[in-house]
A = this chain, B = another copy of it.
């Protein structure tokens, strides 16, 4: 996603521009716990972000805009992702193929849930598109009929 070579730290204004949001929105998402301030930052000091944070915010914004998820629902998505990342780290150590398989299957189910939401929206949009192009065609016919007079 990000083409940065170094993990240059960023401030909130830059992150807002990169994600098409505002500083207020980013602070609000942080307040709701939508992404983690691992390093707890002293009160009053500037927030500091990495490329990974930009990716995270971009994903949140996209799921919100395109699928119409609420921030409460997005929090659950994010928490599920974090939980799987943690377990993944554990299994990388334990090396039990059966449980690794289990974990991978759970990830699949999670992604498939999102995919079905995406496809549902696509279907609705296709229907809307059909209706609109139908209207357009109807108008085109009328214009042609006028030309033949």
Residues of A within 8 A of B (CB): 62, 65-66, 68, 97, 100-101, 104-105, 107-108, 111-112, 114-115, 118-119, 121-122, 124-126, 128-129, 132-133, 135-136, 139-140, 142-143, 146-147, 149
Quick one: given A68-B65, A101-B146, A129-B119, are A136 and B124 in contact (CB under 8 Å)?
Answer: no
Chain B residues, CB < 8 A from A126: 122
The reply to whether B149 and A136 form a contact with Cβ atoms under 8 Å apart is no
Interface of A is mostly: helix
Q: How far is the CA of A68 from the CA of B112 in the complex (A)?
A: 24
Closest residue on chain B to residue A132 by CB atoms: B115
CA distance A111 to B134 in the complex (A): 10
A100 touches B65 (CB 8 A): no
B contact residues around A111 at 8 Å (CB): 132, 135-136, 139
Q: Of all chain B residues, which has the CB nearest A63?
A: B128
Contacts of A62 in B (CB 8 A): 124, 128
Q: Are B136 and A112 neighbours in the complex by a CB distance under 8 Å? A: yes
- A122:B125 contact, CB within 8 angstroms: yes
Partner of A146, one of B66, B100, B121, B140: B100
A81 → chain B closest CB, angstroms: 11
Chain B residue nearest to A100 in the complex (CB): B146
Kindly provide the distance from the CB of A76 to the nearest chain B CB, expressed in whole angstroms: 17
